[in-house]
Amino acid sequence: MSEKLEFKKLREFGEIINDLFLFIKQNIKALLKVFVYFCGIFILGSMISGIFQQIGMQKAMATGDDSLAMLGKIFNLSYFLLLLFNLVSYTAMNVCILSFIAVYIKNGNVAPGLDEVWAYFKYYFFRMLGSGILIGLFCTLCFFFFLIPGIYVMPAMMLFFPVMIYENASFSYSFDRAFKLIKGHWWSTFGAMLIIYLITLATQSLASLPAIIFTLFSAFTEGSKGLSNTAIIISTTVQYLCQVFMIIPIVGISLCYFNLVERLDSTGLMDRIGQMGTSKETFNTPEEY
């Protein structure tokens, strides 16, 4: 049996990517169980709302109504439910996976049960939901009004949620801490996060390829009628089922977070030094400080 992954250590770029998939491989069943249990109902709500919204939008565009009437049909109840469920499901995904990792570390690198993750999830969910809205508004303003600063703040804002959960921090502390962690390591962290998201996009695209082909075929055969309802249902369902791959960037960003914390504070090294006199396990985490 392979050695359990240690989060609190320094990593180079290649190690972050390798350990990302090692952790998922070692804990895939527990991760999927937690993901489905805590995120499944919200993803289902997004899926149903998305199907109704897309079908309604296609019907509105086919009627040939004036602009105001068409907008009224597009921005309907399904549209706002879709926004709500997407926000809640995105928050739930982050909270449950970050909570899983937090308890995993607390348990000595042992996968936690649902009840252990639930204790963290219910404590952090609404804090993360409110903070996520504020961070989303902040990032939107940065991108719309200041494109370059918007790109600059993104890696720090991706670290915001790990700081809040792993350090049980307030909004203001998490915001400030994220920028302190990224200072001096912006390019390496941005590069790692970019590759992680490209990997995620590639896996999602590969998994949804049959649905994409079917959708294109439907668009070609239906012509001016637009997509069939069957094509909309299948493509939307597959799109939301593929959100399970969001486990990849959340774990990857967590590894980036702990790498940056080690570079700044060396907390993992100090923890292992403190355990050397009490633990019977071999000190087998080679790294340079």
Kindly tell me if the per-residue pLDDT of 148 is higher than 90: no
**What is the C-alpha separation between 225 and 61, in angstroms, rounded?**
10
Is 223's pLDDT higher than 70? no
Q: What are the tens digits of pLDDT across the range 249-270?
A: 999 999 999 999 999 887 655 5
Quick: pLDDT tens for 44-91: 999 999 998 888 877 777 666 556 666 666 677 888 899 999 999 999
More confident residue, 289 or 16: 16
pLDDT at residue 283, as a whole number: 47
Phi-psi region of 108 (alpha: psi -120 to 50; beta: other; left: phi over 0): left
What value does the mean pLDDT of the chain take?
86
Q: What percent of the chain has pLDDT over 70?
A: 84
pLDDT in tens, 179-216: 999 998 999 999 999 999 999 999 999 998 888 888 88
Q: Can you give the pTM of this predicted structure?
A: 0.87
Compute the C-alpha angle 178/200/41, nearest 5°.
Answer: 85
Which of the four pLDDT bands, split at 50, 70 and 90, describes residue 232? Answer: confident
Band (274; pLDDT cuts 50, 70, 90): low
What does the pLDDT average to over 117-142? 93
Confidence of residue 289 (pLDDT cuts 50, 70, 90): very low
Q: What is the pLDDT of residue 111?
A: 93
* pLDDT given at position 277: 52
pLDDT digits (tens, 9 = 90+) for 2-33: 678 999 999 998 899 999 999 999 999 999 99
Domain ranges of the chain: 13-269
Residue 203 corresponds to which amino acid? Answer: T
Per-residue pLDDT at 160 exceeds 80: yes
| Long-range Cβ pairs for the range 9-14 (8 Å, 24+) | 9/258, 9/259, 9/262, 9/268, 9/269, 9/285, 9/287, 10/259, 10/262, 10/263, 10/287, 10/288, 10/289, 11/255, 11/259, 13/188, 13/191, 13/192, 13/195
Of 124-133, 234-243, 249-258, 272-281, the range with the lowest mean pLDDT is 272-281
